[in-house]
């Protein structure tokens, strides 16, 4: 991989309409780096889920900032998605238009080659994920998404897929 | 112009098709939920056609799973179709979440309409 691209930092209000903008910026960077379409699709999915977590969970009812860094080296792209919000615990907030399914972090873990979650209550949260440009295999096989949807409509990581709720 | 439209197509009579095109995520999920609510209110089977969709995330899956649950509670058939050549931004999340047999997901719209019609006990079933 000889192509180069500048490191990118995006800072924007943590609002739903911003997530597509992050995907567009990522697609532009991946184009400059000549990233394989399959890897780019996984990057887009994972970064969308990380940004969605910030939009939905980070800032109660107040405004806040979504920060995304994209850092490329010869072998991989590292994406950091950061907020300065209340902490990392996803909430089931039924008052919102879009209740969380609870699938975001399992998807990020499955799609990326490595994945870290940093943060503590009151200090904000950073999701750090790395995607290799050249894959030996499918990262999903290393970290498959466990479980299926439960009777309450949320993701149940302990549920068996052989007996889907119906 | 809406680059990411979600429209109802009731040409199939007792089965309404929710046609989803473009990219869909947390921003458009509330609109998808509204359209799905409207489709359920019509009382017949529901097909969600993702053939023209290029990207869907877990917000979309959440909306689909909620609608599916309510449709089944009301004895209305619920089926998702994705077309013959599926975008990676749609196929991948369906594959790795194992939701293809759950939703369920089929290829063509005509087949989906047939299944939605016979699955429900509504006017057509």
Structural domains of chain B ordered from first start: 6-119 (3.30.750.24)
A97 or A146, greater pLDDT: A146
Q: How confident is the model at residue A62 (pLDDT cuts 50, 70, 90)?
A: confident
Mark A10-24 as b/e (b = at least 16 C-beta within 10 Å): beeebebebbbebbe
- Does A110 contact chain B (CB < 8 Å)? yes
Handedness of CA A19, A133, B21, B109 (dihedral sign): negative
Query: Tens digit of pLDDT for each residue in B39-78?
Result: 999 999 999 999 999 999 999 999 999 999 999 999 999 9
- Reply yes or no on domain A8-88+97-138 having CATH 1.10.1240.10: no
Q: Which residues of A touch B97 (CB under 8 A)?
A: 103, 107, 145, 148
Angle at which helix B88-97 crosses helix B58-73, to 10 degrees, equals: 60
Nearest CA in chain B to A55: B26
Q: Which residues of A touch B66 (CB under 8 A)?
A: 99, 153
- Does A103 contact chain B (CB < 8 Å)? yes
Residue A166 has pLDDT above 50, yes or no: no
Quickly list H helices, A54-120: 104-111
Q: Which residues of B touch A37 (CB under 8 A)?
A: 88
By the 10 Å C-beta count (0-12 exposed, 13-18 middle, 19+ buried), A95 is classed as: exposed
Domain boundaries, chain A: 8-88+97-138
Strands B45-49 and B78-81: parallel
Q: Of B24, B50, B19, B22, whose CA–CA distance to B35 is shortest?
A: B19
State both tokens at B28.
């458009």
Q: Decide: helix, strand or coil at residue A37.
A: helix
Q: Does A38 contact B88 at a Cβ distance shorter than 8 Å?
A: yes
ipTM of the complex: 0.92
């Amino acid at each position: 991989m000889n192509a180069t691209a500048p490191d990118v930092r995006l800072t924007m209000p943590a609002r739903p309409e911003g997530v597509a903008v992050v995907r567009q910026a990522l697609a532009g960077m991946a184009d400059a780096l000549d990233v394989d379409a399959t890897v780019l699709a996984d990057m887009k999915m994972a970064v969308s889920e990380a940004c969605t977590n910030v939009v939905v969970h980070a800032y109660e009812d107040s405004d806040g900032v979504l920060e995304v860094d994209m850092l490329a080296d010869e072998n991989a792209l590292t994406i950091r998605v950061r907020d300065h919000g209340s902490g990392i615990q996803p909430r089931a907030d039924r008052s919102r238009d879009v209740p969380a399914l609870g699938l975001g972090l399992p998807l990020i873990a499955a799609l990326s080659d490595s994945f870290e979650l940093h943060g503590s209550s009151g200090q904000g949260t950073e999701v750090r994920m790395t995607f290799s440009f050249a894959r030996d295999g499918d990262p999903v096989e290393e970290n498959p998404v466990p479980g299926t949807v439960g009777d309450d409509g949320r993701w149940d990581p302990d549920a068996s897929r052989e007996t889907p709720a119906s | 112009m809406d680059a990411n439209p979600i429209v109802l197509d009731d040409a199939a009579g007792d089965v309404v098709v929710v046609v989803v095109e473009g990219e869909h995520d947390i921003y458009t999920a509330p609109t998808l939920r509204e359209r799905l609510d409207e489709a359920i209110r019509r009382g017949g089977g529901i097909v969600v056609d993702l053939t023209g969709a290029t990207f869907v995330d877990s917000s979309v899956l959440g909306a689909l799973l909620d609608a599916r649950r309510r449709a089944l509670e009301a004895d209305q058939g619920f089926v998702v179709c994705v077309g013959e050549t599926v975008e990676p931004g749609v196929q991948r999340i369906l594959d790795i979440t194992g939701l293809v047999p759950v939703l369920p997901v089929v290829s063509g719209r005509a087949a989906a309409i047939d299944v939605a019609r016979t699955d429900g006990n509504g006017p057509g079933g």
